[in-house]
Amino acid sequence: MTFLLDEIALATARLAEAGVPSPRTDAEEIAAFVHGVRRSELHNVTDADFDALFWEGIARREAREPLQHITGRAYFRYLSLEVGPGVFVPRPETEVVAGWAIERLREMDVASPVVVDLGTGSGAIALSIAQEIALAIVHAVEVDPDAYRWAKRNILEHGQGRVHLHPEDLADALPELNGQVDLVISNPPYIPPGAIPRDPEVRDYDPRRALYGSGSDGLDEVRAVERTARRLLRPGGFVAVEHADEQGTAVYLLFPEDNGWRDVRSRQDLTRRDRFVTARFGQE
């Protein structure tokens, strides 16, 4: 065993004691980042090449700073995205939401589907759709200046000229596309005011604007998504909106048949918790 692998074992124990959910993985990711290799290549790092900056990264993770802030990268589906302070770190549960949208787009008899991502953050959903649906035209909407800058960087790297970034509020975005959009998707802020996220990585590092929704139930932004989707979608178009696991029923009820919604469904993530609501607009 090399010196680096010994140090990773010690770091794993430290991270586990600090309550980090995936201590071995995080220790290896930090080691790989610091030494400029893949995790599978860590055994090739010689003792002479060991970099003590590894322990600086471990100390930051031990303090529950997000791994993605330390490495500057977040992995989402097939993408490696730049992230850091000021932007929400995309989560695995949101990959399920994006996956549902990608499946619906593949089923559509539309040569070049038009997609709107409301509150794009890092651009994770918008860029995944553009990458996996070859002819999709994707509009990413982000009003927060810090998040907008991160999205712009990622779109320049991955957008292939088919992701268009708009510095607009999700409540009144893109009136020029009214009635022309095939799919609207959003992971808006939805935590109720006064609620405290369990994980320190979320509570202490993710931007509050990306976490906390407006209104007594935190769902005013979801209500805005419903209104905007109703305005943007063509007849037969789809919407998907993420929510907290205890908000499934409440969000389901925000898409009533009287507003033109059909096939409203509450859908689960990989842990079988309610995670997002989908609906089809205005077509029997």
Given CA atoms 46, 48, 49, 52 in this order, what sign does their dihedral have? positive
DSSP one-letter string for 58-111 = HHHHHTT--HHHHHSEEEETTEEEE--TTSPPP-HHHHHHHHHHHHHHHHS--S
Given a contact cutoff of 8 angstroms between Cβ atoms, the answer to whether 64 and 16 are in contact is no
Q: Is 188 a catalytic residue?
A: yes
Catalytic residue among 23, 54, 188, 255: 188
Pairing state between β 114-118 and 233-242: unpaired
CA distances from 215 to 186, 228, 277 (A): 18, 18, 19
119 is in an annotated binding site: yes
Closest residue by Cα to residue 279 from 258, 87, 270, 271: 258
Given a contact cutoff of 8 angstroms between Cβ atoms, the answer to whether 74 and 89 are in contact is yes
189 is in an annotated binding site: yes
Task: Tell me which amino acid residue 64 is.
Answer: R
Catalytic residue among 88, 238, 255, 281: 88
188 is in an annotated binding site: yes
159 is in an annotated binding site: no
142 is in an annotated binding site: yes
Q: How many residues does the chain have?
A: 284
Catalytic residue among 23, 76, 90, 187: 187
The whole-angstrom separation of Cα 192 and Cα 179 is 31
Q: Name the one residue in this structure whose structure tokens are 């290549």.
A: 41
Active site residues: 88, 187-188
Annotated binding site: 119-123, 142, 187-190
Annotated binding site for substrate: 187-190
